Amino acid sequence: MTALYPHLGGAGVMYHECIRCNPNWHGYAQCNTVLADIGGLMMNGLIFTWVLLLLLFVFSKCEYQCALVCWFVLIGDAPDPNMGMWVVEPE
């Protein structure tokens, strides 16, 4: 999979990652989550994305495998005091 991350490293920065998922796992579709390591201090440098669509297209006889993801951002700068977990919302 190849994805463009302009907000992490500037326009033109490319990142390559392999995403494996099975839409029929345990008999139902999955809402897959990807953990991306951005090297920060909060949440041990991890951010969450939700895989919305895996697609493949051909352009100029070259095959491109892509993932459409929804990025999540942290709410606050510490885990929720009641739940003890980080709270996120769609970007």
Q: What pLDDT, in 10s, does the model give residues 47-89?
A: 777 878 888 889 899 888 887 888 888 888 888 999 898 888 9
Give me the mean pLDDT over the 10-27 stretch: 59
Domain ranges of the chain: 2-90
For 24, phi then psi, to 5°, come to: -110, 20
68: left (phi over 0), alpha (psi -120 to 50) or beta: beta
